[in-house]
Structure 1
Amino acid sequence: MVAVSPLLRRRLLSTSVTRTHHKPQQQWSIKQVTKSNFADTLEDIKSHVSNSDFVAVSLQNTGFFSAPWQRVSPFDTADTAYLKAKYAAERFQVLHFAVCPFTVRASKVTAYPYNFHLFPRPELKMEMPSYSFYCQTSSLISMARQGFDFNSCINDGISYLSREQESAAKIQMGNPILAKNVTESTSTLSVADSVFIERIKSHIKNWKKACKETSTRKEGNQIQDALVRSLRKLVLGNEEYDSRPCMNIDVCSERQAQLVVEMLQEFADDVVPLIIPAKGGAMQAVRVVLTSSKEDKDLLQGKLQNDEQELKKKVRGFREVIDLISASQKPVVSHGSLNDLTLIHSKFIAPLPPTVDEFMCSLRLAFPLVIDVNHLMKEINPLRKVTSIPSAISQLKNRFFTPIDMEIPCQAMENEDTILGQNVVKICELFARLCSILKIDPADVKSDKEKRASALEAYANIFRPFCTASEEPIDGEIKIWTNNTRTVSCEDLVFLWGFGDRVTAGVLKSLLQESHEAFSKEFDVRLVDTSCAIVIFWQHGLSETFLNTMNKCSDMCGPLREMVSEGLRAAGYETYNRACRLGFWESSLADSLDRALANSDCASEADSKTKCSDRCNEWIINLDDL
């Protein structure tokens, strides 16, 4: 038997004690919502959202970034950060979405957490490239280790149900849409609009007259044979809708549909307009139904509204929850709002617009007040470097006295899995603790915009990356390091690549110090990935001097000429921005910058050819003018 030394015995005993007394993570009871209990749960959620002050959201999506530089970084402007988030939102899918209406009263938080199991649209899954599918599968495997049941999600998951899908479902089920859903303004009419309206109005008058004349004829005296009736129906375009005469008016756009609907108000006593949607949610035609009396018209409209409600129950999806939160106009609390909100907007609201300004305008129509706890965390110095919610809560408990009583009245069923959706409750707790430390009273927040607490308003609707509420965003000013308050202009950044593999930032900085006079002043180097680095010139103007030298080989000398001969390349921030804007999402940033430079050279060459052609045209003599 081998003797064990006292030191080794003490180490083994301490390890054993640590494993035995490991404290389990706190678990709350989260209601798991699937297709089978979605309809019953929706009314409860509607009531809880209405009675709460905030709605916390958290989602789990598929996939991860195929390259580190594609993640939002401190050196990204609001535009480039949005382009990166947009790229991710359009590639990934939402697998489950946690929603938690909650109120904060002093130290008590009352929360109603729900976790929705979703499944993506099949046509989007089929279009994924192999590498992207691998990335998503890898993420799903990590979720499976946490207890995620794929079969349950797919077989009993809730559909996304975008607006386009809802319209397509109505087409398949033969349900038209009441014309009251058309809201486009047509206050200004063109000549073409006026001609279109008058032509359709005349057609409807003739159709109504023919229908009434046919209905008043007595049987036996003026009996028409089947051929005559068929010809009249073909010429007039007569059809029947629930035994009532109707006709279809083809339209080319929503504007034309609105023009027809507004014109039909002149026949409001006995006509009911319906919208027939086409595939993709566009408007295909306006169906005009002729009723026999006002009572008959009310009866038809009531039946159509009932049919629409029944249809919604059959094709309903998670978008109803998003619409419910949007209709409440309650402040939305999240963690990492830019990435989450681009996903929400892309999957459940509308396709993402091309620019961040358009995105913010569109998002505020749905969610007027979005509070990201990240910006609250950055106001507390110990949390500036923290990105994890559990770590932030743990540090706040250790450093500050902030007693928070979490109450969750809505209990899950005993056989339900309560692992998924925990994060949304932690967001509620973290938000309450941060408000307590920052002396912000959440009870002052009201749905009315004019009555919102100014303290929380300062932290709302901030989509600029790594920005705190106390800092006024300056155009062109960005951060390089998350934990450093020092900012730099985009014009003072230079991207370098082609310096070889396995080169550290320190080694590259040493090589640059002796290569050019621009590096005689203060500068720093940071690696973005293994292929590319950022050089930060802290004195304005030095970046332009260095780039001018890189563009003129004749001005190079010494070590810099040698580095360029070995493949060193450089570009300003605009090239990086162009790579993101044009969608050059290569696996290495160096390849993306090369493509952006090539695109810029092609554009410059095309412009020069156009100018040359214009100058040549000035000297061309037209013989017909002589």
Structure 2
Amino acid sequence: MATSRAAAASAKQVTRRNFAEAVRELGSHLEACEYVAVAAQKTGAATGWRRALPVDTAETAYLKAKLAAESFQPLQIAICPFQLHTSPYTLVAYPYNFHLFPRDELQLGMPSYSFSCQSSYLSTMANDGFDFNMCIYDGISYLSRVQESLARQNIFTPQLRQLLPSPSTSVADSVFMSRIKSRIVHWRKGYAEPSKTAEGSLVSSLSKLILGGESYGSRPSMIIDVCSDRQVQLVLEAVNRISDDLVPLVVPDKAGAARAVRLVFTSSKEDKNLLLMDMQKLEDEQNFRFRGFREVIDLLSSSQKPIISYNCLNDLTMMHTKFVAPLPSNVHEFMCSLRMVFPSVVDISHMWKEIGPLRKAKNIQAALSYLQRQYFVPMEIEVPQQDGTNSATKNEQNVLRITKLFAKLSSLLKISPKGQSQSDEQCCTVEEYCNIFYPCTVEESDDVDFANESDTTKTVSTDNVVFLWGFREKSCKELRSHLTGLHHAFSEDFEVKLLDKTCSALIFRSSDTAMELLQEISSESPSLNNFLSEGLKAAGFEVYRKACRSGLWDSDLAEALEGVSSELAASTLSEYSTSQIYWNNSLMLDLKEYLD
């Protein structure tokens, strides 16, 4: 039984004020822990037929998740490194709740953020105690990897550059180098060998002025103009031959090309090391400002620890588009890109479906409540790091619930990081549950009466699916009864499910029946006069796939299907690829197949 210490636990609240400190702490916790739970609080979620439906394949579910990720904005991301100990079974968690808000932190006029908000979401967040002021004024900004690359083209700071092996030197190169070397030697001599007398000091000062000396902080420096990268290398080679007390910095112009080399004179080896350390610190600070919250994403990526989440398809598409790069156009490219950042992702709902009755659970709390009632899993929960507040936001509660649920499921399913328990009992590894996503339709209720839930999940081919629209407002039962007398195909066994108020999906037991019906509709067969006179229309799965690919998201489903059905009359034939869907209350998409 879990201890009560975690019941009111709250994560460490992280804003831009304590972000640097939190990143350092998170890095040490990631190194010590085995897993990382992640949960996101966004400004909205897909509704209507734009949400995940039982008729969705991996491809169409991804396109819907892509739409939501590009439309809505994360305002909080909770990160919780945790580890599991046996004897006694103990969960040790270190939750952090990062407050985010996109802004032009670097004042470059980019990126220009715009996103959608759903009033119902914001209302619920306000009721849950979400601090919008903290988010807007103190939220951590960020740039994706692609945005950072673009931003760096607009910020030009002097930087060290490595001396490359020199090719054969031309006459022009020799003349340039000789002139530059003579100038550097005379300039450096004025600082390395100052005159002892007052008169000599005056002469030395005038000499420095004539030679064009200036300051780089508190150190003397001089500027040498260059016209090409070749001349940069010649200057670096000249400096390398003259002395170790000179530090060359390449100064770029507005186009990013080198326009000059600044030479900084250091008084000793210690002074030179101090300058190099200061420059490295300045570069680190600038990189930190560039990346913002992406510093956390990079930490998670470099740790290579399994990411544990819920509704992974939605959360990971959001994290990809905000912190990595724009989302690819198809699910195969997305999975390949995601694996470069997060090689191991576990959707907690895939794990709980391994336990029979839990297949009917609609959310995290329902699954936890069922396990609490039906299974005895003795477990201590420790949250050593807490914020000190008495209440936790919904996002913090979710990440701790994910952590707790994973720990319980790991015990029941005998999951061990190394596939071996301390008693040498054979266990499975978490990799067996990785990269299989469930596009979940989250229900708000905190519990489910499993006794009254039916588990009628079955695998169905997209060839068996017919989309029907043009009917007036009818329930599934009324629509099924009405269709029975319109064509002999409806005398066969089929199921009806409303997808939105304008369209339904018909699932036939036989794909031959579905294909026959679609072919007769396409040819306007007389046998369908009653069907057509009712204003009913139907199409195969390829029309639905095309509607998703075309991005007709602002329309009702019937209008979207109508818009593409005329272009795809041939889609009623079996020449298109067939996919599998998981019909009814399971929405599993095994994305491993897209990596083969």
SS across alignment from 1:461: coil
Structure 1 position 243 matched with structure 2 position 222: yes
Write the distance in 1 (CA, Å) between the matches of 2:169 and 2:519: 65
Check the 8 A contact 2:181/2:238 in 1, yes or no: no
Q: State whether residues 74 and 482 of structure 1, in contact with CA within 8 Å, keep that contact through their aligned partners in structure 2.
A: no
Match of 1:83 among 57, 63, 84: 63
- 1:387–1:576 CA distance, 2 compared to 1 (3 A): same
| Contact kept? 2:239, 2:248, Cα under 8 Å | yes
- Residue 436 in structure 1 maps to residue 411 in structure 2: yes
- Higher relative contact order (CA closer than 8 Å, sequence separation 6+): 2
Decide whether aligned partners of structure 1 residues 420 and 507 sit closer, same or farther in structure 2, where only a CA change above 3 A counts: closer
Moved more, 384-393 or 424-433: 384-393
Inter-CA distance 204–436: structure 2 relative to 1 (3 Å threshold): farther
Q: 1:485 and 1:263 mapped to 2: Cα distance?
A: 71
Compute the displacement of 1:54 (Å): 0.4
User: How far did 1:177 drift?
Assistant: 6.2
CA distance in structure 2 between the aligned counterparts of 1:533 and 1:142, rounded to whole angstroms: 30
Q: Deviations over 1:376-402 (max 9, x none)?
A: 111111111212211111100111111
* Aligned residues of 2:495 and 2:506 also touching (Cα < 8 A): yes
**Is the 8 Å Cα contact of residues 56 and 428 (structure 1) preserved in structure 2?**
yes
Counterpart position of 2:385 = 410
User: Which residue does the alignment assign to 1:145?
Assistant: 127
2:491 aligns with: 520
Alpha-carbon distance in 2 for matches of 1:380, 1:430: 13
- Paired with 2:433 and 2:150, the residues of 1 have a C-alpha distance of 40
Q: Confirm or deny: 8 A CA contact 2:66 2:317 kept in the other structure.
A: yes
Deviation at residue 42 of structure 1 after TM alignment: 1.8
Q: Does 1:381 align with 2:353?
A: no
Q: Output the amino acid matched with 1:105.
A: H
Letter in 2 for 1:81: A
Cα deviation code 1:388-438 (max 9, x no counterpart): 211111100111111221111112235886665121111111001111111
Query: CA 1:74 to 1:167, structure 2 compared with 1: closer, same or farther past 3 Å?
Result: same
Asked if 1:26 corresponds to 2:1, the answer is: no
Does the CA contact (< 8 Å) of 1:32 and 1:416 recur in 2? no
Greater Cα offset, 146-155 or 208-217: 208-217
Which aligned pairs between 1:447-458 and structure 2 lie closer than 5 A?
A: 454-458=428-432
Q: Which residue of 2 aligns with 1:183?
A: none
Equivalent residue for 1:113?
95
What residue is the counterpart of 1:175 in the other structure? 157
Question: Deviations for 1:176-218, whole angstroms, at most 9, x for unmatched residues?
Answer: 56669xxxxxxxxxxxxxxxx9999999777545523554689
Please give the alpha-carbon distance, in whole angstroms, between the structure 2 residues aligned to 1:275 and 1:577: 52
User: Deviation digits for residues 108-150 of structure 1, max 9, x if unmatched?
Assistant: 100001111111347788745xxx44x2x33112101011111
Q: Quick one: structure 1 residues 260 and 465, their matched pair in 2 at CA, closer, same or farther if it must change by over 3 Å?
A: farther
Which structure carries more helix by proportion?
A: 1
SS of structure 2 residue aligned to 1:95: strand
Q: Which residue of 2 aligns with 1:612?
A: none
| Structure 1 contact 94–120 (Cα < 8 Å) conserved | no
Question: Which residue of structure 2 lines up, in the alignment, with residue 212 of structure 1?
Answer: 181
Q: CA deviation at 1:511?
A: 2.5
Alpha-carbon deviation of 1:27?
A: 2.1
Give the letter aligned to residue 87 of structure 1: L
Q: 1:98-497 alignment to 2 at 5 Å?
A: 98-106=78-86, 107-121=89-103, 127-128=114-115, 132-133=116-117, 135=118, 137-163=119-145, 166=148, 174-175=156-157, 208-212=177-181, 214-215=183-184, 243-247=222-226, 249=228, 269=240, 284-286=256-258, 289=261, 302-314=277-289, 317-414=292-389, 420-442=395-417, 444=419, 454-463=428-437, 465=439, 483-497=455-469
TM-score when scaled to structure 2?
0.74
**Structure 1 125/200 Cα, relative in aligned 2: closer, same or farther at 3 Å?**
farther
CA deviation after TM superposition for structure 1 residue 37, in Å: 1.6
The 1:417–1:531 alpha-carbon spacing in structure 2 relative to 1, beyond 3 Å, is closer
Residues 512-566 of structure 1 show CA distances to partners (whole Å, capped at 9, x for unaligned) of: 223223333322221111101111121122222111111112x223xx3233234
Alignment RMSD, CA only? Answer: 4.3
Taking structure 1 as the reference length, the TM-score comes to 0.71
Q: After the TM superposition, which of the residue ranges 356-365 and 88-97 deviates more from structure 2?
A: 356-365
Asked whether the 8 Å contact 1:179–1:261 carries over to 2, the reply is no
Q: Which residue of structure 2 lines up, in the alignment, with residue 582 of structure 1?
A: 550
- Measured after TM superposition, the shift of residue 358 of structure 1 is 1.1
The structural deviation recorded for 1:243 is 2.3
Q: Name the amino acid aligned to 2:351.
A: L
1:556 maps to what in 2? Answer: 526
Q: Per the alignment, in what secondary structure is the counterpart of residue 158 of structure 1?
A: coil
Q: 2:497 aligns to what SS in structure 1?
A: strand
User: 593-602 vs 98-107, which deviates more?
Assistant: 593-602
Q: Secondary structure at the match of 1:154?
A: helix
Answer yes or no: is 1:591 the counterpart of 2:573.
Answer: no
Aligned to 1:61: 42
Whole-angstrom distance in 2 between the partners of 1:411 and 1:199: 63
Structure 1 unmatched runs, 5+: 1-22, 181-196, 231-240, 251-258, 447-451, 467-480, 604-626
Three-state SS of the structure 2 residue aligned to 1:593 is helix
